Structure 1
Amino acid sequence: MSTATRFQVRPKKVRIVAGIGAVVLVAAFTIVAILLRNSPTGVIFRTTDQIAMVAVGVLLGAGAMLFARPRVRADADGVDVRNMLGDKRFNWDDVEHVSFPDGSAWARLELPDDEYVPVMAIQAIDGERAVLAMRELRRLHREHESR
C-alpha cells in the first residue's frame, strides 16, 4: 500500500468456526487412522494407510481454514480485498459504491459496468461488527470522492 493502512477487518465468527472445524477434521481422521489397525472387517490396513488417512484430515483441515482467510484493508488511496482464493487492490477511483445488499451474506464493492467484487471479510453473521466495518469503509470511500 502506498500509504499507511487506515482500516482493516477480518470476519470473526467464521474464523472461529473454521478453526474449530479444522481441528475436528484433523482429530477425527487421526482417530480413524489409529482405529484402522484394529478393524474386524478382514481388510489389512498398513501404516501407510494410516498416514494417508491423517494426511487427508490435514488437507481437509487446511481447506476449512481457507474460510478464515478473507480480509479487507483500506487507506486513502484504495482498498485491498482478500477473499478465500485471491486478493486484489482497487483504487477508490474504480469503486462506484460500497454496498451490502439485502439478504446478502457479505459486502461488496460495486465497480463500473455493473461488475462487483465480494468483500467476504465483512459478513452479515458478524452483526454489529459488520455494521461498524461498513460505516468505516463507506466513510473512506466518501472521503476520497470529496477530494
Structure 2
Amino acid sequence: MTRDETGWDLEVRPEKMRRWVVVAAVVVMAVHIFAALVLRGGGDTGVNLRVVDQIAILAIGVVLTGGVLLFTRPRLRAGADGVSVRNVVAERHIPWTDVRGLFFDHGAPWARLELPFDEYVPVVAIQARDGERAVDALERFRELESRYTGGAVSDDNDRGAIRRNDDGGAVRRNDDGGAVRGDD
C-alpha cells in the first residue's frame, strides 16, 4: 500500500449510503422548489402566500438538504499517526496505542473501533451494506493495525471478525463460534 499525498495509508468512505444520500438531497430540494413555485396566493380560498413565504420555503429546503448531505461526511483514515474517524458531525483522532481492533457486531449496520475500557467509536464509513468493499476495508485496516502496533493488539477478542469464505463471500463469527453469512 502506498501512502497518498495526505499522509494517510487508508481512506474509506461508505459507497452505497453516499449515493442514496445524494439522491435524497436532490429529491428534498426539488420538492421544496416545486412547492415554492406552485403554492401561490391571490385567490379567495385557502392560505394567502406571498413572495416572502415562497423564499422561506426555499430556505427551509436548503437547510433540510444541507442536513441530509451531512450523511455524506463519514470517513475512516488510518496512517502512522493513528486512526481518524469522522462520522456525521464530529471527527475523532485515536492513536494506535488506544486501538484494540475494528469489528462488526452481529447484525450491526456499520463497524466499530474498539478502545480500552470497553469503549468504542462507531465507524459509519465501513457499512455492512457495502459488502465486499467493507471486507476489503477491514482487511486493509487490520494490515495497517498490525504494521503500526507491531502486532501488539490482542487477537483474543475475535467476536465479529469478518473473513472470506470459499466462494468469496463474507462470513463472520457469531457469539457461539459458528459462522454467519455477511448478508444475513
Bucket of the pairwise TM-score, normalised by the shorter protein:
over 0.9
How high is the TM-score relative to the length of structure 1?
0.93
Distance 2:37 2:146 in 1: 57
Provide the C-alpha distance between the structure 2 equivalents of 1:38 and 1:14, rounded to a whole number of angstroms.
39
Specify which of 30, 36, 39 is matched with residue 36 of structure 1. 39
* Cα deviations by residue, 1:108-147 (Å, 9 ceiling, x for unpaired): 1100110000011001111111110011111111222326
Q: When you count helix as a share of all residues, which structure comes out higher?
A: 1
Change in CA separation of 1:146 and 1:39 when aligned onto 2, cut-off 3 Å: farther
Q: CA deviation at 1:52?
A: 0.5
The 8 Å contact of residues 32 and 57 in structure 2, kept in 1 or not, is answered as yes
Q: Which amino acid aligns with 2:104?
A: F
Letter in structure 2 aligned against 1:36 = L
Q: How far off its partner does 1:76 sit?
A: 2.3
Out of 50, 55, 76, the position equivalent to 2:54 is 50
Query: How far does residue 19 in structure 1 lie from its aligned partner after superposition?
Result: 0.5
In structure 1, C-alpha distance between the alignment counterparts of 2:9 and 2:140, rounded to whole Å: 10
Percent identical among aligned pairs is 49
Equivalent residues in 2 for 1:1-147, closer than 5 Å: 4-37=7-40, 41-146=45-150
Which segments of 5 or more consecutive residues in structure 2 lack a partner in the other structure?
1-5, 152-184
d(CA) in 2 for partners of 1:107 and 1:140? Answer: 16
Check conservation: 2:41, 2:48, Cα contact below 8 A: no
Q: Which runs of 5+ in 1 are unaligned?
A: none
**Deviation sequence 1:3-30 (CA, Å, 0-9, x none):** 8211001011111101010010001011
| Alpha-carbon distance in 1 for matches of 2:77, 2:46 | 56
- Larger gyration radius, structure 1 or structure 2: 2
Q: Number of matched residues?
A: 145
**Aligned mates of 1:89, 1:34 — CA distance in 2:** 45
2:117 partner amino acid? D
RMSD: 1.5
**Structure 1 residue 100 displacement after superposition:** 1.2
Distance in 1 (alpha carbons) for counterparts of 2:126 and 2:99: 17
